[in-house]
Amino acid sequence: MRVMIDTNIIISAALFPNGFVSKALYKAMQPPFQPVISDYIVDEVHRKFQEKFPNKVTELEAFFYTALPAFSLIATSQNIKETESLIRDPKDRPILRAALEIGADLFLTGDKDFLDSSITDPRIISVKDFLAL
């Protein structure tokens, strides 16, 4: 089961390696799940850390060094999908596009724009609901 991991999940897991979100990410990295991340998300995580947590970039690099090999890393397509318009924030649309392109079964996020959307494919799931699976 392919699980697209959102930016906020990576940021929380990198900042709080023993936290609730990290537990969900660890679960997503175990069979039967196959974690997927897009190049857009990796770039966005780096940008967010530079802006908001510049003194934590070393922790991010350590996180990526250990965790990224477990992920399937995919390129984000430039081909806009009609479903993207269901996401309010245009910055989030390439993330949905990547999930659609690879046929993700689940999209793990804490982002209200995704969680409150009417998108059903892929299934958008919160950390709490994912841990309850």
Residues 95-115 have pLDDT tens digits of 999 999 999 999 999 999 899
- The answer to whether 132 and 32 have CB atoms below 8 angstroms apart is no
Q: What is the pLDDT of residue 84?
A: 80
Task: Show the tokens assigned to 101.
Answer: 């392109």
Q: Is 30 exposed, middle or buried (0-12, 13-18, 19+ CB in 10 A)?
A: exposed
Residue written as token pair 């175990």 = 30
- The answer to whether 6 and 37 have CB atoms below 8 angstroms apart is no
Cα distances (Å, whole numbers) of residue 36 to 52, 58, 60, 105, 120: 24, 23, 18, 10, 18
- Looking at residue 122, its amino acid is P
Q: What is the pLDDT of residue 77?
A: 85
Q: What is the mean pLDDT of each run of 10 residues along the chain (133 residues)?
A: 97 94 97 97 96 94 93 90 83 92 96 91 97 96
Handedness of CA 80, 91, 8, 127 (dihedral sign): negative
Q: Is 63 exposed, middle or buried (0-12, 13-18, 19+ CB in 10 A)?
A: buried
Neighbours of 8 (CB within 10 A): 19
